[in-house]
Amino acid sequence: MLISEFAKTAGLSVDTVRFYIDKGLLAPKRSARGGSRPYQIFSDSDLTAARMIRLQQSLGYSLAEIAALNKEYRNGARSDARTADVLRKQIGRLEAKRQSIDNALAFLSAKLQWVEAGKPSDAPHLDDFNCQ
């Protein structure tokens, strides 16, 4: 596939695909065709990689983390122990984020109840909800 077809199939913009290539997240093959700039030819494995990048982003990984993990994987540094370590670390980060979101939701709910009750007393205080 060429870049425009690849982007459409992957559900990404062409600019995003180019960004991923610049960051080393995708490495399509280059063809001699195309004049001064060779075409970039994408395969099904590139499509899988793009989908994995999107999945990893949705799981809270930064692009720098994704690039480092992908580099490790491509260099053969994959083991069950390493995978478990990476997963445990991300689970911990997401649990902390969930706690922060839960605290913010509790504050917003208390504030809503206070407003809907006609502001009968002091407003709920953000500090009481451990919001960060």
| Average pLDDT value for the chain | 90
Token pair 């999107």 is at which residue?
Answer: 54
User: What is residue 70's predicted lDDT score, i.e. its pLDDT?
Assistant: 84
Mean pLDDT to the nearest integer, 115-119: 96
**Banded model confidence at residue 32, pLDDT cuts 50, 70, 90:** low
CA atoms 90, 93, 96, 97: torsion sign: negative
User: What is residue 72's predicted lDDT score, i.e. its pLDDT?
Assistant: 86
Mean pLDDT to the nearest integer, 76-97: 89
Percent of the chain with pLDDT over 70: 95
User: From CA 57, how far away is CA 113, in angstroms rounded?
Assistant: 35
The pTM of this model reads: 0.69
User: What is residue 119's predicted lDDT score, i.e. its pLDDT?
Assistant: 95
Facing residues of 29 across strands?
Answer: 41
| Cα→Cα distances 92→5, 97, 130, Å | 38, 9, 18
For the cut 80, the answer to whether the pLDDT of residue 34 exceeds it is no
